[in-house]
Amino acid sequence: MQLQYAARAGDFVAKSDFDISSEYARNARLKPAFLVGLPVAAVAASWGLSASVLLGLVSGPLAAAGLTYLFAHLSRDSGQKKQEKLFLSWGGKPSIRKLRHRDTTLNPHTRARYHQKAAELLGKAMPTPAEEAADPAGADFLYEAYCNLLLERTRDTKIHRLLFEELISYGFRRNLYGMKSIAVLLASLCTAVESVSLYSAFRSTHQVETGKAIFLALSLFLLLCWLFAITPSWVKRAADSYAERLLAASENLGSVSGRAAGTKDPNPKPKGSRRRSNTTNDPAPAGGSGS
């Protein structure tokens, strides 16, 4: 199966980019798209059983026609549009930023250990603080090359399971943030519709319909989440966590020259199985052009 190079990510995929059987596609792409549409589903459900039955009748054919595939595309594309702006506002891709001597978010002794490992794996010495200050762009290119190498060497999702989970977390948050504008619009409209429906029912019966009140509360809760919880800083926490996990994974990797000389590969390919990817054609926030 052809491996796809991740757009602006530096990662590879072993499955179809939008195969919903992929754990990444389901959690990082489809779930954000479904959360965007959840208030609409709540409005449909509040209309009663007939609307719910109708929704069930049309959802199957729509899914078969590629609705979930479309959702995956929309979610991924929305997240990618926001990603570059996020990186600029953060001062660079998290993994590259954390390798810089001037970065203050990583323990300097830990960074020195990562630089030593990078020199071993790349066969090139990492810039000194003075060299980095004299040529920041050149230093970033070298850091990026190292992160690309790490992404290539950590594609096995079984061996690097924690790294894969951090990637899913970042992809989920990034894509949610990418769809924030349309999500706020839909949640606002649905909250207004639910409010009018609840008020109209109260005027007719002089009683508060529990079902409508619950769906209104759900729509309002989602709206508040979109407005105040899904923010750039919320996405950044996941991106930083993935970057730190990627750099930490380097300490369990052997150098290419060491393996050529007979050193045992610490990440051997399981017999009779194909190497799995730890990502999809999406974010990889921590390395290459992804973070």
Digit-coded pLDDT (tens) for 139-177: 999 999 999 999 999 999 999 999 999 999 999 999 999
pLDDT band at 278 (very low <50, low <70, confident <90, very high): very low
Residue predicted with more confidence, 131 or 210:
131
Q: pLDDT at residue 224 above 60? A: yes
Q: What is the rounded average pLDDT for all residues in the chain?
A: 81
Instruction: Enumerate the domain spans of the chain.
Output: 4-51+64-252
Those residues whose C-beta lies under 8 Å from the C-beta of residue 173, and which sit 6 or more positions away, are 230, 234, 235, 238
Label residue 223 left, alpha or beta by phi (over 0 means left) and psi (-120 to 50 means alpha). alpha
Find the angle CA(261)-CA(264)-CA(266) to the nearest 5 degrees: 130
Give the C-alpha separation, 29 to 170, whole Å: 11
